[in-house]
Amino acid sequence: MRSQPQNVTDLATELAQRLPEALVGERVIPRFVDSYVVEHGRHALQVHASLYRDRLALLQREALLALTVQVLSAACVEPAASKKSKPRPMSQKDTAIFRRKFLNALARQQKWSVGDSLDFQTELQIYENLIRRNSATQRTRKSFEVANHPFVDRSAFLLDSSFMEKARIAASRALGDLEDLAAHVVASAGLQKGAVKSR
């Protein structure tokens, strides 16, 4: 872990590279789909290879959106100055700079066109608005409850719209895995130790 403050651009670029690599490397989405198929006997979801690959690609995109929300939220909080103080949000200026640099670096890393990048940012905004709206009435979720999160609903629909409630439960478990993965990526980038500084 780093002990010196990082430059916003460097951190944004590093996180934009690590995030998709971790998502693919940890195989969160293939495990999510495969375990759902086995648990519920929905083998028809894997019969057609091209449809299965398309489903995985769409779910990977949803997972990347959920991870991006988590990482942007975690990265835009300055670490506590001491053990007794609380972490505080970055300034609006630094948050805006970090967000722009991160999204630009992610678009380059994913080799997106301008249109693809704008589509992703639009969907990201939808995610953030829904999460913000849900957080106003949010309470601590019990382990057996389905998360009230856009990833859960959108992924359940993409996975198996015929069995929405079962798919929502599975997607909620996958969201937990994604949240753990985001926390790991943020920690491995050194955000827990050093504050971020703008240029």
* Domain housing 106: 6-197
115 falls within a domain: yes
Q: What is the pLDDT of residues 22-56, one digit of tens each?
A: 999 999 999 999 999 999 999 999 999 999 999 99
12 falls within a domain: yes
Q: How many structural domains is the chain composed of?
A: 1
Q: Is the pTM of this model over 0.75?
A: yes
1 falls within a domain: no
DSSP string, the chain: ---SPEEHHHHHHHHHHHHHHHHHHHTHHHHHHHHHHHHHT-THHHHSHHHHHHHHHHHHHHHHHHHHHHHHHHHTEEPPSSSSSPPEEPPHHHHHHHHHHHHHHHHHHHT--HHHHHHHHHHHHHHHHHHHHHHTT--PPPTTSPP--HHHHHHHHHHHGGGHHHHHHHHHHHHHHHHHHHHHHHHHTTTTTS-EE--
Q: What is the pLDDT of residues 79-137, one digit of tens each?
A: 545 566 565 666 778 888 889 999 999 999 999 999 999 999 999 999 999 988 877 65
